[in-house]
Amino acid sequence: MLTLLTPEHGKVRVVAKGIRKPASRKAGHLELFMRSKLLVAKGRDLDIITQAETMSAYRPLREYLLRGAYAAYMVELIDRLTPDEQENREIYDLLCHGFNWLCESPDLALTVRYYELHLLGLAGFQPQLRYCVVGDETIVAEDQFFSPSRGGAVCARCGPNRPDVMPISMEALKVLRYFQAQPYAKARTVKILPSLHAEIEHVLARYLAGVLERQLKSIEFLKLVKREHY
């Protein structure tokens, strides 16, 4: 049984009979992180894949463990944020772009932070980064706070002593705003220091944990791979 993300029908579950057989003609077109054109027959409970043709193989995602670990995280994030059989062409396109970006990106963490922000927006959970989510004031260019539970930035006046906020630096807020507003071609040119990378990852991880109300399985595997890689 496979879970597919499709442009017209959203996330669907299908059966690929005989795919584990050595002589299967479909097996090479239905590996992880591949985009394929499928012919699907209606089944009693689950539809059945009868033909498959590869459109984009994204080979680096299977040949390089770290890129593959990030791809697994991207996929699980979509799986948790999207309901079954609900069309969302923009999310489908984002995943296709995301896989292309991962195949060639020199800064995988930057790529995934950009993907996270845009997926959150498309799924209806875009964090508010320009106005205080407590008092509605415009957020100015200085160190502020972020509330995962309220879904956005909290100004320096409203933030102190609140139990549901965490500090966020002016630099991290600027990067997040820039990623929200700009196409990937511009965002990918931003140079981010490791300490700033870590801060942005922490902020988004806290927010995603609140949105999902659970820890993703791929996160621990990704952490392990990153420790081994670096």
Ranges of residues in the chain with a pLDDT under 50 are none
Strands (E), the chain: 2-6, 10-15, 35-41, 47-56, 144-147, 152-154, 166-168
Residue 115, domain member (yes or no): no
Residue 11, domain member (yes or no): yes
- Both tokens of 134, joined, read 């407590």
Residue 50, domain member (yes or no): yes
Residue 52, domain member (yes or no): yes
pLDDT of residue 141: 82
- Both tokens of 179, joined, read 């990623």
Q: Is there a contact between 153 and 144 (Cβ–Cβ < 8 Å)?
A: yes
Give dist(CA 1, CA 194) in Å, integer: 40
The dihedral region occupied by 145, where left means phi > 0, alpha psi between -120 and 50, and beta the remainder, is: beta
Residue 185, domain member (yes or no): no
Q: Which domain holds residue 23?
A: 1-57
Q: How many CA atoms lie within 13 A of 194 on its CB side?
A: 1
The number of folded domains in the chain is 1
Give the predicted TM-score (pTM) of the model.
Answer: 0.92
Residue 15, domain member (yes or no): yes
Neighbour count for residue 136 (Cβ, 10 Å): 10
pLDDT of residue 58: 95
pLDDT of residue 165: 95
The widest CA-to-CA distance across the chain, in whole angstroms, is 66
Residue 166, domain member (yes or no): no
pLDDT of residue 230: 65
pLDDT of residue 23: 63
Residue 109, domain member (yes or no): no
Give me the CATH number covering residue 15. Answer: 2.40.50.140
Q: Is there a contact between 172 and 164 (Cβ–Cβ < 8 Å)?
A: no
pLDDT of residue 31: 85
